[in-house]
A and B are shown apart, each in its own frame.
Chain A
């Protein structure tokens, strides 16, 4: 898994690629929680277009990020979900819990 950050006005976009699983999800979790807790960015966006696979440890990282964002009044937004990532969120009954968009334009619109 690769993860890199872009910073716009009051928004950080993480571009994530590869597989999010037991081996790689700690890296995602660390980046998300740092952005939400330490940097206190009001809007954190995850670009998942290039994520081929996500397991429950990846879902757990997103849920933890969502809980922290809710606690601090920030927004955690996902976009570009491929079928594999969408399915794991659907099976976890979490697809309606997250703010999900099709593309970046929608994700960063006010």
Chain B
């Protein structure tokens, strides 16, 4: 991993009404960084789904709990060359996330719910989760014009 530059830091509450605020800010940020329209939509969807999971499962739907989001421009070594990317780190003090739940559910089953993790994995180039000092940390990476540039392709 090469140099990294902090672009934006948000301290928000676990309030579903804040999701649209984050989406708009992140959409603008991704566009400014040069991501295509489809890539912007992918980043926005992944972060929105991750925040939704924190609010619903980490904090059990309770409002007023803290969530930190930071956005960095980074360089990622891939295939022998440096690639530009956006790194998003989401941190919360909610319940510990079960490992198996991070894998999502089979999509063949027609039932509501359980799609969030699948969408995050589809939209982002790297997804890493860890529990550290009583906090859940989710790290998401989106390569600029990476292999998942076109959503739903």
**Cross-chain contact B115 with A92 (CB below 8 angstroms):** yes
A55 to B45, CA, bound (A): 7
**Cross-chain contact A88 with B112 (CB below 8 angstroms):** no
Given A22-B56, A67-B110, A84-B41, the answer on whether A92 and B119 have CB atoms closer than 8 Å is: yes
A21 to B56, CA, bound (A): 12
**Cross-chain contact B115 with A59 (CB below 8 angstroms):** yes
**Cross-chain contact B118 with A92 (CB below 8 angstroms):** yes
**Cross-chain contact B152 with A22 (CB below 8 angstroms):** no
The contact of A60 among B44, B112, B118, by CB within 8 Å, is B112
The smallest C-beta distance from A89 to any residue of chain B, in angstroms, reads 8
Q: In the complex, how many residues of chain B place their beta carbon closer than 8 angstroms to a beta carbon of chain A?
A: 28
- Asked if B48 is at the interface (CB within 8 A of a chain A CB), the reply is yes
- Asked if B74 is at the interface (CB within 8 A of a chain A CB), the reply is no
**Cross-chain contact B48 with A90 (CB below 8 angstroms):** no
**Which partner residue on chain A sits nearest B19 by CB separation?**
A21
Q: Chain B at the A interface: mostly helix, strand, loop or mixed?
A: helix
Q: Could you jot down 20 A-B contacts, CB within 8 Å? A: A19-B23, A21-B16, A22-B19, A22-B55, A23-B16, A23-B19, A55-B116, A56-B115, A59-B115, A60-B113, A60-B115, A67-B110, A67-B111, A83-B37, A87-B38, A87-B41, A87-B152, A88-B119, A90-B151, A92-B107
B residues touching A (Cβ–Cβ < 8 Å)?
A: 16-17, 19-20, 23, 37-38, 41, 44-45, 48-49, 52, 55-56, 107, 110-113, 115-116, 118-119, 122-123, 151-152
Known pairs A19-B20, A84-B45; list 19 more (Cβ under 8 Å): A21-B16, A22-B56, A23-B20, A53-B23, A53-B44, A55-B45, A55-B52, A56-B52, A56-B115, A57-B52, A59-B115, A61-B112, A63-B111, A64-B112, A83-B37, A88-B45, A88-B152, A91-B151, A92-B119
